[in-house]
Amino acid sequence: MSIKMIINLSILFLCVILTSAEKGDGYCDLKEKTCDGDFLNEKFIIYDVNPPEGFNLRRDVYMRFAIMLSEARQHHKNWMLILPPWYSLYHWQTTQSDFPLPWSNFFDVKSLKKFAPVVELHEVFSKIESNIFTIDRLYVLQNYPDAFENGEFRDKWEIGGNCDYDGTFWGYNNVTVKETVCVKYQGRISNLWELISLNPTDKFVMFAHGEIPLHDQYGTKTFWDCRKSMKFNKNLINTAKKYISEYFNCNSKICTTYVSVHWRRRDFARSRKKDVPSIKGTVKQIDNAIKNYNPQIVNIFIASDGQNSELIKLEKQLSDIGYKVHFYLPTQSELDKFKDGGVAIIDQIICSHAAYFIGTYESTFTFRIQEEREILGFESSTTFNRLCPDKGRCEAPSKWKIVN
Ligand SMILES: Nc1nc2c(ncn2[C@@H]2O[C@H](COP(=O)(O)OP(=O)(O)O)[C@@H](O)[C@H]2O)c(=O)[nH]1
Ligand SMILES: [Mg+2]
């Protein structure tokens, strides 16, 4: 046996030990030299989402794939999930980034890796030999025209038809695909393995319209374990904590000194007119909620994508009846650093720690705040509250309680 072979074998051995040792504490990090063996043996899935979808729906799509990949590990499938970078989101109107942003800008990727075998796309780029990243097969998922065939919704998929990939490969121009396959798909995400198994030699597989496959199970312990692993980037947390401490004099997880509201406007106020209140209606509902919950509270934190003119009106009307209204207004350097995506997360963190929260009906931005509050341990009556329309029915929000 040559010295070179011995060294190679030792590295392989070390890698096996490290990978198994790491199982309890996360998955192999491709940046570690010891994981090179893994890169050769691993296969990779990456996905893209319907271009107009926002950040918080995309977080749920991530969870579907992360859970699918984490469960696959338990059946010794050597697949990893590549985290699709954030690029040019429709709602990011102040600071559109010219380049794709990695997940580490927003999340604690080490924590994600503790739950699922995930890698950033730039980590993969640094491992491949070519300048071009070639995806073996791109499955463009499409909805069936009729989800309820014979009145029944059932899991199914079918290859065929016409389709185009309508995305941008996360802003990269060095990405190509060898083969594109159109697939009509409905039902649980784990059925994607059936598709993948049709081409067992594929190493890099991509799914476009990753929002189409659904969670196998929603709200289970595994769901919440995955959700808990989605910790935010430390700088965002620290900025939010500093704000809470400064304006609401609270340094604990569960604050008692302010109420928070997520007031979703823009496309929501236009397309869901019957679910959202007017400014006057919003003021009345916030005032009633505080009077019922704790009339001592005067501080209100508002997170919103609303226009300045609307926010000024809302602030004035609340101040007129004795409240102190707060918004998180980033400095220019914070905006440059965190971008719209980070600022939105800071808004969410501040909402999450408030004594009482009122959200917008069926907004995924609101859902993510509610989940965070469940994780923090708030009484659910302080979390699952919504703004109602000025007139007409006001359905209670669904309560997704944590399972530990
Ligand atoms: N900073 C900030 N941005 C918001 C707020 N509400 C909505 N947005 C922006 O609008 C986007 C809404 O899309 P999405 O995350 O899918 O949530 P949804 O459309 O409300 O379900 C967010 O990702 C943010 O970029 C808010 O309260 N504060
Ligand atoms: Mg949305």
Residues 354-372 pLDDT 10s: 999 999 999 999 999 999 9
DSSP run (H or E) holding 122: helix 121-125
The domain boundary residue, chosen from 199, 226, 253: 226
| 394 part of a folded domain | no
Residues 6+ apart with CB under 8 A from 95: 335, 336, 339, 340
Mark whether 240 and 140 lie in a shared domain: no
Q: Is 13 contained in some domain?
A: no
Using the mean position of ligand 1's atoms as its centre, give its distance from the Cα of residue 369 in Å.
11
Say if residue 89 is in the same domain as residue 159. Answer: yes
Distance 29 CA to ligand 2 centre (A): 32
Using CA positions, which residue lies closest to atom 12 of ligand 1? 54
- Clarify whether 53 is annotated catalytic: yes
Q: Which residues pair with 81 in a beta bridge?
A: 45, 118
Nearest to 310 by CA among 277, 342, 286, 284: 277
Number of domains in the chain: 2
Q: Given the structure tokens 């396959």, which residue do they identify? A: 181
Q: Looking at ligand 1, which residue's alpha carbon is closest to its atom 27?
A: 304
Q: How many residues comprise the chain?
A: 404
Measured CA to CA, the distance from residue 211 to residue 151 in angstroms comes to 23
* Residue 31, pLDDT score: 58
Strands 175-186 and 156-159: antiparallel
pLDDT of residue 101: 94
Taking alpha carbons only, the member of 121, 102, 123, 110 closest to residue 27 is 110
pLDDT at 173: 93
**Parallel/antiparallel/unpaired status of strands 258-263 and 356-358:** parallel
Q: Rounded to the nearest 5 degrees, what angle is found at the Cα of 233, between the Cα atoms of 227 and 238?
A: 115
User: What does the pLDDT read at residue 4?
Assistant: 44
How far apart, in whole angstroms, are the C-alpha atoms of residue 32 and residue 34? 5
Backbone CA torsion sign across 187, 193, 199, 203: positive
pLDDT digit string, tens, across residues 297-311: 999 999 999 999 999
Residue 1 within any structural domain of the chain? no
Give domain status of residue 327, yes or no. Answer: yes
- Binding site membership of 55 for ligand 1 (Cβ less than 6 Å): yes
Which amino acid is residue 28, in one-letter code? C
- The half-sphere exposure of 87 on its side-chain side, counting CA atoms within 13 A, is 17
The Cα 200–Cα 185 span in angstroms is: 20
Asked if 326 and 363 sit in the same domain, the reply is yes
Please name every residue paired with 303 in a beta bridge, in sequence order, or none if there are none: 262
Instruction: Write out the two tokens for 360.
Output: 């917008």
Q: What is the CATH number of the domain that holds 107?
A: 3.40.50.11340
DSSP 8-state code for residue 87: -
Q: CA gyration radius for the chain?
A: 23
Distance of CA 365 from the midpoint of ligand 1 (Å): 5
Nearest atom, ligand 1, residue 54 CA: 16
123 and 141 share one domain: yes
Expressed as residue numbers, the domain containing 296 is: 234-382
- Single out the residue of 184, 186, 204 nearest to residue 196, CA to CA: 204
50 CA from centroid of ligand 2 (Å): 11
**194 and 278 inside one domain:** no
Give me the DSSP letters along 206-237. EEESTTSSBPSSSSSHHHHHHHHH-PBPHHHH
Say if ligand 1 is within 6 A of residue 303 CB: yes
Return phi, psi of residue 274, to 5°. Answer: -75, -5
Neighbours of 170 (CB within 10 A): 18
Evaluate: CB of 344 within 6 angstroms of ligand 1: yes
Ligand located closest to 90 CA:
1
Q: How many helices (H) and strands (E) does the chain have?
A: 13, 11
Task: Output the CA torsion 252→361→141→107 (10° steps).
Answer: -10
153 φ, ψ (degrees, to nearest 5) = -95, 115
What's the confidence (pLDDT) of residue 91? 87
Using most ligand atoms within 8 A of CB, pick from 58, 91, 370 the residue to mutate for ligand 1.
91
pLDDT of residue 16: 34
AA identity, residue 321: I
Q: Are residues 171 and 188 in the same domain?
A: yes
Same domain, 171 and 255: no
Is 26 part of any domain? no
Q: Are residues 218 and 282 in the same domain?
A: no
The answer to whether the CB of 91 is under 6 A from ligand 1 is yes
Same domain? For 268 and 368 the reply is: yes
Residue whose CB lies within 8 A of the most ligand 1 atoms, among 365, 369, 372, for a mutation test: 365
pLDDT of 25? 55
Catalytic residue among 42, 53, 123, 372: 53
Residues of the chain below pLDDT 50: 1-24, 33-34
Would you say residue 363 lies in a domain?
yes
Assess whether the C-beta atom of 85 lies below 6 angstroms from ligand 1: no
Cα 215 to Cα 59: distance, rounded to the nearest angstrom:
13
**How far from chain centre, in Å, is Cα 95?**
19
Ligand 2 center from residue 265 Cα (angstroms): 11
Q: Which residues pair with 80 in a beta bridge?
A: 44
Q: Quick check: 260 and 351 in contact, CB under 8 A?
A: yes
At 333, which CATH number? Answer: 3.40.50.11350
Residue 139 CB coordination number (10 Å): 25
**Ligand 1 pocket, residue 347 CB under 6 Å:** yes
Hunting for tokens 């009106």 — which residue is that? Answer: 313
